[in-house]
Amino acid sequence: MHTVILGAGISGLSSAYALGQRRGETYNLYEKEMEIGGLCRTRQQGGFTFDVVSHVLHFRTAAAEQFVHAILDGHLQRIVRNAWIFFRGHYVPYPFQTHLGFLPAGEQASCLWGYARAWVDRQFNGARPPANFGAWIRQHFGAGIAQSFMIPYNTKLWGLPPEEMSADWVSPFVPRISFSQAVAGWLSKRNNEMGYNSSFYYPESGGIQALVNGLASHTHGISLGREVVQVDLDRKTVLFQTGETVPYDRLVSTIPLKALVLSARGIPEDLRRAAAELRSTSLLNVTCCVCHPLPHRYHWVYFPEPEFPFFRLLFPANISPAMVPENCSLVCAEISNPDLTRRDELELQTRELLVSLGMVKRPSDIVSTSCTYLDHAYPVHDLKREALVERLLEFLRSRDVWSVGRFGSWRYSSIDDAIVQALEVAQQISQPGPVEVPDFLA
């Protein structure tokens, strides 16, 4: 049985690694770019090292944690998160909902009163299944926190109101709080670390590409510059833009689910129309290389307010000093769903805001800038997504095609999730049937 894997990002490389550990399995891995890594690539420019889009590692499963530690041979550092929110001209620790005491007085009263009303409603009426993400926010945090931070930030990030999104993705990523935690965060100006990434891991050097390279060193049969033109589900072949056609017994695809379905021959027309409705965000990442240290030790800062084009600033050298020359720093600005006709304007505006925020002393201290545009950044969990994706994945599996990873499964997820899903699929296609996450490191 021969497996063809599409896409040499974390999911594709993890699938290849796992299959390579199983006796009797053969595979080939194809990547459309001339380099591996997908969303997890790292660049070097004038002595600065930075990821094309920022990533950190946070493990919810022991299997993924063991896997990554083994791949990186222990060269992984654990870091306690130092994340903030820039709100009304002040820095508020993240998460917003447990630090109400840092807010201006009027916002404190509105947010705490709104949370108390929502809490009382849940006690008397129960936590009803929310109709959408906006309803989930108000149910768990109240109107004040919703209007001050949750609604504007998520609208900025996703490009649509939370009322038009489902809440099926929220549980692992947005920390809920108890009444006592809300009150304690109002009474005390202590930084209350909580949430799925209150601590995280990152390679000691080399950026996130270190994980990519580590995985690649345990795989073989990687062909670059192979963009999928057509997948023939009946003949079980893949046609690439090079004119090459390769056969498969099983296909593991990590390319965007929409692209896979729209390129597929032998798929019902109603499923093709369904795939066309899947939505995602795009991203412009503006990385500024700065010739002086930063005035703070923040790892990242969220910006919910509309006067800032970016939804988040990240500071990679505060995570890994090996990323920059001595006494230098990096600032990465992430802009969701950018208007590319304004790309130069957005870059200039970002540079000016870094000066006005005090991140950079003078415009001339930004020695170089790198801009990366990603057509696919995050899958959008709109109200149609769950049913559409379930139908598409079920049909593909019936045709010996497994679509995995963030965009393969069209699901907002982390590197941890991508690795676990890839390991699970590798075992499923080798030994069909329900399985636990395998330990390939034993």
Q: Where in the chain are all domains bearing CATH 1.10.3110?
A: 96-187
- The three-state secondary structure class of 121 is helix
Predicted pLDDT of residue 198: 81
Domain at 96-187: CATH code: 1.10.3110
Predicted pLDDT of residue 159: 96
Q: 77 with 202: CB under 8 angstroms? A: yes
* Pairing assessment for the beta strands 250-253 and 26-30 based on DSSP bridges: unpaired
Q: Where in the chain are all domains bearing CATH 3.50.50.60?
A: 2-39+58-75+206-279+382-430
Question: Which class in CATH covers the domain with range 280-379?
Answer: alpha beta
Q: Which helix (H) or strand (E) holds 158?
A: helix 151-158
DSSP 314-355: E-HHHH-GGGS-TT-EEEEEEEES--GGGHHHHHHHHHHHHH
Architecture of domain 2-39+58-75+206-279+382-430 in CATH? 3-Layer(bba) Sandwich (3.50)
Predicted pLDDT of residue 369: 96
Predicted pLDDT of residue 436: 39
Q: In the chain, which stretches have pLDDT less than 70?
A: 172, 175, 187, 189-197, 431-442
Contacts of 269 (CB under 8 A, 6+ apart): none
Tokens standing for 371?
Answer: 């801009």
User: Global pTM?
Assistant: 0.92
- Report which of 381, 161, 374, 347 is spatially closest to residue 282, judged by C-alpha positions: 374
Predicted pLDDT of residue 196: 58
Radius of gyration of the chain (CA): 23
CA distance 53 to 209: 11
CA distance 430 to 432: 6
CA distance 126 to 268: 42
Fill in the amino acid letter for 52: V
Predicted pLDDT of residue 153: 98
